[in-house]
């Protein structure tokens, strides 16, 4: 009999703790001994991104594969037989293992399966057959919500651990059919409702760019893994900002599509079936190192005709970047500076000016847009629709393993009575009216507006557990507009300048936001990414990617390009 069984019941660890120990032991066992770091960085080291290059575990060839290629370049090199799938997969598995030891970004690890599939894909090409699809041999990482047959989709909840999925999520099958190699899943916050990725089972994910600030959530593990170059293409989900916030925090590209564009079926979100149909549906989308990889993801998925597998996915083929030119017509991009709920910090306001000037120099027509009368209505309505079920399904899962709430969530989430039908109908009525009114913003007296830029957040990347409101991201989920993030540059000492208005805050959210700037050590922001968000009309993902790509090209002289383009 084990010692734990001889202890009085009051002294036994809670169920969730036992599960957490087992899951962490399982993780540890799946990292080969020869891939282990000899030592971890001291507390004085706050940027981990150079460690894979200096630790001695990666060969020159592995460093080149993981650092000098984007997904598109890898796919081309594999197709041309300049690189082998097994060498690429091994390099990214090893680098992901290093990233996990430094940032705690992974949940499920299936390196052995990945290497076996890589060998099969190499044999496929060696036999003279064409590639399976656009992602043949490209390693792809997944947020933990995605189900992969034979592995947990616990989303950091003890009660869902050790219950391996019996079938894949629809998008997982699409990626496999396109030739992708899946090798790991990534960490999320408890309940998926936080903006910093911490849970009791796997722990907290660290931002490798600056360990003092958040890696973001809820796709925070994806963001950290990409920042460490442990992934060349990742897939997250977004219902309030959960792709775009980690993209901002970790300096990657990321896109939240309209919810009907990419298959979402078959994921684990801790909710009961059908819950999204009465609230706000989430979207699945890519995080990447280049805009052409964003394009590659959409094309690869669309070629699998996912609408034949997921009834919510609209049957729209992907029109790639090379086919979406405006026929010589100049792009018209709007600039939206504030939402009327939370005013941006000075460096965020200045960043919009910088991007505006860059766009104008690149012959993009820029249109100033003041949409605050509509924009300010979104946050409260989105929050109401997020909470219609009262969180009861999630609390049932937590209580099944005697699991406490994470500290940040504990002051913000509690069981509530589900709202009644009349109130639900009222909320959806308001949403439909607001969506109708929003249509007017896409045209002015000079013509149509293709997309607009705005902040991702009203503040730079904040300290751990200090991310403020999500009005700049959740609003576009409410509207079902596709939206993406472009990294611009890093925060510098010069960006510490400027003061907030001395007028009365707009409200509690604005007050909390000012506390991240006024009487605050702004030096914590130095070296963190500064990004902008780009938004387009519903189901206009091609237009969004076209606009993002044009803006990215306009910015390219301002920051280094890490991908081999």
Decide: 219 and 143 in contact? Cβ < 8 Å.
yes
3-class SS at 452? strand
Domains of the chain: 28-558 (3.90.1300.10)
3-class SS at 231? coil
Q: Is 133 annotated as a binding residue?
A: no
Catalytic positions, please? 143, 218, 242
- The CA distance from 251 to 529, in Å, is 5
Task: Copy the structure tokens of residue 207.
Answer: 């931002």
Decide: 458 and 344 in contact? Cβ < 8 Å.
yes
User: What pLDDT was estimated at residue 558?
Assistant: 45
Q: Is 242 annotated as a binding residue?
A: yes
Task: Copy the structure tokens of residue 40.
Answer: 């971890």
3-class SS at 434? helix
- The CA distance from 179 to 136, in Å, is 4
Q: How many CB atoms lie within 10 A of CB 323?
A: 9
By C-alpha distance, which of 300, 355, 356, 292 is closest to 324? 292
**Distance from the Cα of residue 534 to its chain's centroid:** 15
pLDDT along the chain (565 residues), means of 10: 54 94 98 97 97 98 98 98 98 98 98 98 98 98 98 98 98 98 99 97 98 98 98 98 98 98 97 92 98 98 98 95 61 98 98 98 97 98 95 97 96 95 97 98 96 98 95 98 98 98 95 97 98 98 98 77 37
Residue with tokens 């109708």: 436
* H runs (alpha helix) in 271-336: 275-278, 291-302
User: What pLDDT was estimated at residue 320?
Assistant: 81
**Distance from the Cα of residue 145 to its chain's centroid:** 12
Q: Is 336 annotated as a binding residue?
A: no
Contacts of 530 (CB under 8 A, 6+ apart): 347, 348, 351, 460, 487, 488, 489, 490, 491, 495
Q: Is 241 annotated as a binding residue?
A: yes
By C-alpha distance, which of 127, 170, 172, 167 is closest to 149? 167
How many Cα atoms occupy the beta-carbon half-sphere of 195 within 13 Å?
24
User: What pLDDT was estimated at residue 327?
Assistant: 53
- The CA distance from 325 to 331, in Å, is 9
User: What pLDDT was estimated at residue 207?
Assistant: 98
User: What pLDDT was estimated at residue 425?
Assistant: 97
Decide: 158 and 401 in contact? Cβ < 8 Å.
yes
The DSSP annotation for 491-536 comes to --GGGG------SPPSSHHHHHHHTTTTTS-GGGGTT-EEEEEEE-
User: What pLDDT was estimated at residue 560?
Assistant: 44
How many Cα atoms occupy the beta-carbon half-sphere of 426 within 13 Å?
7
331: exposed, middle or buried (Cβ count in 10 Å: 0-12, 13-18, 19+):
buried
Residue with tokens 């997904």: 71
Decide: 516 and 348 in contact? Cβ < 8 Å.
no
Query: What is the DSSP pairing of strand 181-186 with strand 365-369?
Result: unpaired
Q: Is 203 annotated as a binding residue?
A: no
Q: Is 274 annotated as a binding residue?
A: no
């Amino acid at each position: 009999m084990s010692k734990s069984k001889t202890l009085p019941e009051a002294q036994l660890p809670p169920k969730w703790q036992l599960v957490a120990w087992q899951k962490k032991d399982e993780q540890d066992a799946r990292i080969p001994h020869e891939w282990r770091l000899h030592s971890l960085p001291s507390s004085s080291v706050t940027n981990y991104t150079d460690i894979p290059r200096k630790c001695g575990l990666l060969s020159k060839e592995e460093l080149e594969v993981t650092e000098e290629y984007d997904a598109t370049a890898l796919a081309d090199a594999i197709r041309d037989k300049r690189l082998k799938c097994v060498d690429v997969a091994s390099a990214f598995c090893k680098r992901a293992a290093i990233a996990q030891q430094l940032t705690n970004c992974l949940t499920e690890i299936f390196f052995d399966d990945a290497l076996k599939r890589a060998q099969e894909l190499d044999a496929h090409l060696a036999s003279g057959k064409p590639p399976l699809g656009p992602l043949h041999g490209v390693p792809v990482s997944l947020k933990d919500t995605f189900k992969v047959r034979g592995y947990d989709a616990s989303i950091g909840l003890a009660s869902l651990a050790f219950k391996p999925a019996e079938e894949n999520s629809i998008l997982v099958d699409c990626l496999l059919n396109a030739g992708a190699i899946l090798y790991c899943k990534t960490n999320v916050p408890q309940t998926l409702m936080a903006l910093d990725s911490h849970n009791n089972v796997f722990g907290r994910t660290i931002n490798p760019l600056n360990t003092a600030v958040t890696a973001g959530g809820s796709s925070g593990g994806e963001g950290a893994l990409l920042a460490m170059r442990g992934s060349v293409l990742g897939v997250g989900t977004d219902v309030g900002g959960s792709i775009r916030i980690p993209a901002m925090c970790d300096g990657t590209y990321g896109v939240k599509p309209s919810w009907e564009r990419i298959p979402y079926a078959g994921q684990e979100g801790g909710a009961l079936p059908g819950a999204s149909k009465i609230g706000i549906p989430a979207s699945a989308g890519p995080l990447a190192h280049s805009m052409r990889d964003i394009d590659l993801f959409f094309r690869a998925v669309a070629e699998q005709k996912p609408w034949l597998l997921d009834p919510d996915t609209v049957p729209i083929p992907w029109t790639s970047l090379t086919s979406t030119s405006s026929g010589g017509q100049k792009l018209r991009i709007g600039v939206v500076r504030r939402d009327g709920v939370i005013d941006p910090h000075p460096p965020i306001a200045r960043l919009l000016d910088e991007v505006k000037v860059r766009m104008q120099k690149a012959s993009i027509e820029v249109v100033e847009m003041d949409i605050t009368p509509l924009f300010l209505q979104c946050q409260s309505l989105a929050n109401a629709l997020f909470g219609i079920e009262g969180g009861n399904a999630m609390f049932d899962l937590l209580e099944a393993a005697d699991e406490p709430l994470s500290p940040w969530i504990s002051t913000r989430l509690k069981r509530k009575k589900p709202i009644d039908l009349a109130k639900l109908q009222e909320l959806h009525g308001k949403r439909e009216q607001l969506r109708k009114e929003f249509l007017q913003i896409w045209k002015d007296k000079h013509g149509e507006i293709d997309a607009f830029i705005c902040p991702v957040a009203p503040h730079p990347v904040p300290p751990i557990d200090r991310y403020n409101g999500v009005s700049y991201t959740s609003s576009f989920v409410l509207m079902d507009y596709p939206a993406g993030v472009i990294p611009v540059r890093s925060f510098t000492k010069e960006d510490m300048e400027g003061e907030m208005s001395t007028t009365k805050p707009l409200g509690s959210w604005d007050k909390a936001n000012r506390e991240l700037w006024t009487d605050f050590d702004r030096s914590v922001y130095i070296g963190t990414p500064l990004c902008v968000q780009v938004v387009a009309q519903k189901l206009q993902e091609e237009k969004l990617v076209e606009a993002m790509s044009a803006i990215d090209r306009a910015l390219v002289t301002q920051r280094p390009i890490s991908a081999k383009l």
